[in-house]
Copies of this chain bind each other. A is one copy, B any other.
Amino acid sequence: MAIPTYSTGNPAMDFFFILFNGIAEVPLFSSPITGILILAGVFLASRKAGGMMVLSGLIGAGIAIMAGASYDLVTFGLFGYNSILTGMAFWSGPFVKANKATFFISVFGAAITAFTWMAFAHLMGDMFVLNGIANSWAIPGFTSSFIFTTWAMMYASKRFGHDIWPAPAPPPKEELIKESGNPNTSNSFKWTAKEFMIATLKGVSQVTFVENWKTGVFWVVGLTLAFELAPFISGVQDRPWWTNGYTSQWDEFSPLYLAGLMALLGSGIGAAMAILTKLPTAETRMGLHGFNQVLVMIALTSFVPLTPQSFMMAVFATVGCSFLMPGLQRFFGQWGLPALTGPFVFTAWVFLLATSGFLNIPAGIGWSRP
């Protein structure tokens, strides 16, 4: 058994796993340690953000239990992360105001995200069954339910007659390169190793809409200490506490505790690509060109086994994601919406779908190829 069960039958322990695995699944694997450290990092940056993280994760899980979801999926944290992201985006994120109206929408959003998660998990997970149910060619839904739910709610709420969105800023003055349709983004800022590192760490913390390099440090440490802490369940499971959540889809005993490194690498590639393509420096410094890449690097090395080949593909995909991000930024930006983790989701889907036919990329653990 590669994946542990977290359903202990003890309400307090189950609650612990539901909460912290639900948070740890934001970066796509289950480890209560990772969840605790991420929550601590978020609380450090904003108590409001931390509170909403806990609340919306529990709402998602609660709705799922009421609707009759598999309890193992709930304790594994799978009904947490998307509800958390929806809840946070609509309350503690930098997008809408935090008031009574947005609080209700946020809570409703966390609840309905349990349904959209189940829908996308089914859609992507069960679409390909090439030879009976034993052979899964599944693709994970990732954070698709969060992004579609949140885009719809954000766009809808712009029509509401309640005070939800901040007053529109005056249209930015964009100076074009001479005889070109492209913006002139040159400025006097000089990138140093320190500034680059700060941007990279902020890129990690931006996964939950937080711009704070210290939160980023908590994330990286939490991702590294990806111990599964699988509960002992007599007759079912006797597994050491230190198995590796990041790798456990393909080898729970792998010593490669590299999720933190992958996050840094992804965020760093994103920042470097943003500098290379001359995107606005202010965005790069805020970490906006890092968070999608963080998730791409983690997803493409934990949903397929990490080998030199899959690592190379993950880096290539991360570079590709650095094209998709400004594309979707501009696309959603025209409607006053953020790109959220859309660039990550679409990039990861394309590369996992492609893996089905690219036999130099290892697979065969339930995703992409049987």
Report which A residues bind B (CB closer than 8 A).
64, 66-70, 73, 97, 108, 111-112, 114-123, 126-133, 137, 151-168, 176-177, 179-186, 277-279, 309, 313, 316-317, 319-320, 323-331, 334-336, 349-351, 353-354, 356-361
Given contacts A160-B326, A327-B156, contact A126 B122 (CB under 8 A): no
29 contacts between A and B (CB under 8 A): A64-B358, A67-B361, A69-B359, A70-B359, A108-B323, A115-B317, A115-B320, A115-B350, A115-B351, A115-B358, A118-B354, A118-B356, A118-B358, A119-B350, A126-B356, A151-B327, A153-B323, A154-B327, A155-B327, A157-B323, A159-B183, A160-B326, A161-B186, A161-B278, A162-B277, A164-B182, A181-B336, A331-B335, A334-B335
The interface residues of chain B lying within 8 Å CB-to-CB of A127 are 127-128
Check if A180 sits within 8 Å of B166, measured CB to CB. Answer: yes
Specify which of B132, B133, B163, B326 is in contact with A156 (CB 8 Å cutoff). B326
Check if A278 sits within 8 Å of B167, measured CB to CB. Answer: no
Check if A279 sits within 8 Å of B118, measured CB to CB. Answer: no
Specify which of B67, B70, B159, B353 is in contact with A122 (CB 8 Å cutoff). B353
- In the bound complex, what is the Cα–Cα distance between A356 and B70 (angstroms)? 11
Check if B166 sits within 8 Å of A323, measured CB to CB. Answer: no
Check if B353 sits within 8 Å of A118, measured CB to CB. Answer: yes
Check if B165 sits within 8 Å of A354, measured CB to CB. Answer: no
Check if A66 sits within 8 Å of B156, measured CB to CB. Answer: no
Instruction: Say how far A359's CB is from chain B's closest CB, in angstroms.
Output: 4
The interface residues of chain B lying within 8 Å CB-to-CB of A152 are 323-324, 327-328
Check if A133 sits within 8 Å of B133, measured CB to CB. Answer: no
Given contacts A68-B361, A356-B122, A361-B68, contact A277 B161 (CB under 8 A): yes
Check if B182 sits within 8 Å of A176, measured CB to CB. Answer: no
Check if B130 sits within 8 Å of A126, measured CB to CB. Answer: yes
- In the bound complex, what is the Cα–Cα distance between A356 and B124 (angstroms)? 13
- In the bound complex, what is the Cα–Cα distance between A336 and B331 (angstroms)? 11
Check if A130 sits within 8 Å of B129, measured CB to CB. Answer: yes
Instruction: Say how far A45's CB is from chain B's closest CB, in angstroms.
Output: 25
Check if B155 sits within 8 Å of A330, measured CB to CB. Answer: yes
- In the bound complex, what is the Cα–Cα distance between A183 and B316 (angstroms)? 44
Instruction: Say how far A317's CB is from chain B's closest CB, in angstroms.
Output: 8
Instruction: Say how far A336's CB is from chain B's closest CB, in angstroms.
Output: 8
